[in-house]
Structure 1
Amino acid sequence: MSATTFSPICFDRGHCWNKDLRKQQRVVKCSIKSGHATSQKTVRVGVLGASGYTGAEVLRLLANHPEFGVALLTADRKAGQSISSVFPHLGPQDLPDLIAIKDANFSDVDAVFCCLPHGTTQDIIKGLPKHLKMVDLSADFRLRDISEYEEWYGQPHKAPDLQKEAIYGLTEVSREEVKSARLVANPGCYPTSVQLPLVPLIKASLIQTSNIIIDAKSGVSGAGRSAKENLLFTEVTEGMNSYGVTRHRHAPEIEQGLTDAARSKVTVSFTPHLIPMSRGMQSTIYVEMAPGVRIEDLYEQLKLSYEDEKFVVLLEKGVIPRTHSVKGSNYCLINVFPDRIPGRAIIISVIDNLVKGASGQALQNLNLIMGFPEDLGLHYLPLFP
């Protein structure tokens, strides 16, 4: 894929599918009963926490997945309800009813997306059967240092042995590790938007790591679906506000990834903002270039790093990324600009916080774990306008 175009969309599965890879699958074809219908799928999937935004987004994406069939949906507060009563837009799918997680039978499930709140996931996952492949969309397994987890999340880590097994799943960076994982910690939305442009530049020693400033903005869905006063329409609309100033929980996750890339400790200045739109995220990143480095060098390094990637797109020079251009899709659009201050650069990265920032990347990761092409089920073009 060139650095200036989107990946082509393939509607003919026969041309997209690697037949040799298909023959190598270890999982067996099975019938998945969803309500009154039975469909032939290769992998039986459960969605834990299906009544939240990320759970609903997983189900939207799975609707077009040719190999993953939904066998189990849990939502403790909505147990006993149909998914269409919670999310009418998912009604056309023939999905099982929601049940409490304590009543779930995992013997007929191969893999799960865990879309539960932070702080509850560790207890749930450590009690799941060992045969399950798992992608956790909470923050509970993202930080390798369990003392750092306790500092930022205010409680002890409840599954330290499982933490050692977890793979941090920034797909384009950790693809090979994800392929052999049993448990993947799906990255947060802000860390995804920040690390994708910065990691290649840091690895190539093109930017200084001592003075990185990240000004990030997210749609309201990033705060989850729970009823909160600060998320009421009148509190959010016609305005913008910073939050988590100096203490946002994604800061240590960002620093962990950038430290890995630099092979030395990286500390960033990171301030997130809530803006009055339902979904979308932009990170505007200010960096100091290494001595002798030009803005063209940053652009060429990003082009080299992502020219063969399906979902990370470097735009043509001078084109400013917009959240409108990624809405509903798994794309990350990036570009780099010269700052008015000599020696500095401005990097802009946009994603849909619910897709590439959550459920879409989770599907990329589970595709890899199960041995499928990572873009399977993710051929959604952005919605515009």
Structure 2
Amino acid sequence: MSAGLGTVTSVPISRGDRLRILHTSDWHLGRTLHGVDLLEHQRAFLDHLVEVVREREVDVVLVAGDVYDRAIPAVPTVRLLSEALGRLSEAATVVVTPGNHDSAVRLGFGAGLMRDGVHLLASVEALDEPVVVSDGDGPVAFYGLPYLDPDSVRGLLAADGDEPLARSHDAVVTAALDRVRADLATRPGTRSVVLAHAFVVGGTASESERDIRVGGVDSVPSSSFEGFDYVALGHLHGAQSIGTGSPVIRYSGSPLAFSFGEKNQVKSSALVDLDSDGRVEVELIPAPVPRRLAEVTGDLATLLGGEFDDLRDAWLRVFVTDPVHPANLHALVRDHFPYALAIQHTPVGGVSVSDRRAVAADADPVEVAVDFVAFATGGAPTETEAAVLRTAYETALARETSL
């Protein structure tokens, strides 16, 4: 029977002298990269995940939030998740929690009707009700903390009769974990794993995570997670560990790069072996790379001259440094680099243009247009171009006064 919204469930497992967990997060199904549809690449990652589960005899698969990229996903995205959960649950127990991109209500809807082996832990009220998996060494309790928006849950997580908690991630996550610890205390000898979607102090962010600050603060101290054996985190897109002591706290990171700031990250899933005494060993399983990301910088002649031809098959961000904006810039770059996703003109040695400023009511419109051309292209317009601007303005003015 599925754990649904948090009902305690016991799943017997007997695969040797350890419980093997595959920790993933931040699938962001349905996301694009500079307009490129990533769904087929995400499908390839999920195929890879199924292979890892089968080949490495994984007992439990964890997805720590941001399964979807948006609260209302497209139909093909929903189908992809449904297929993936079905295939994974044929070989392992699957535990999923929502993140800040998901809608907890929509992701958790119908959780009680899910197929055996799939557990969607989306309820704040039931976050202290674990999925319990038993191996040869006894039970392991998996607690799922959905993303906790302070403004939404600080009343729910306050003690009965108390005022709402402070408006901070620290306050609501600490209160949630206190509830989890209280339940764990009633289960002597039980090892414990917590899934949480949060920004924990010590983590390194990327460009592509959504800002979750409330009251100017977005972080939770790692000390909040004391007392557990393994903490499976989601939200940050780079795979990383937090601290070096106990418990073992890790971000699995996202399976794909979602920004050029992630171009040097090695995407992976964390294969976690949990021993009988709660000791943890972690192996990172590299994820497939659909297409590498890179950046190139130079004037247009250099960029098209062959120096960077080894990157023609990469997704590129291109910085063009010509002092004046080259004609047909985007067409020329994309013809040479077919997978260039972002092209930016960053002039070096051009006319120095001051910061944006307010335009006075009595300013000459043609001079304003000339300044804009210099700002946008890095070079002042030629005499011919300036004459075109003045002619255009005067023509427009004449038509306006003739009405």
Report 1 or 2 for greater relative contact order, CA contacts < 8 Å, sequence distance ≥ 6. 1
Superposition TM-score, scaled by structure 2 size: 0.29
Superposition TM-score, scaled by structure 1 size: 0.30
Task: Give the structure with the higher percent helix.
Answer: 1
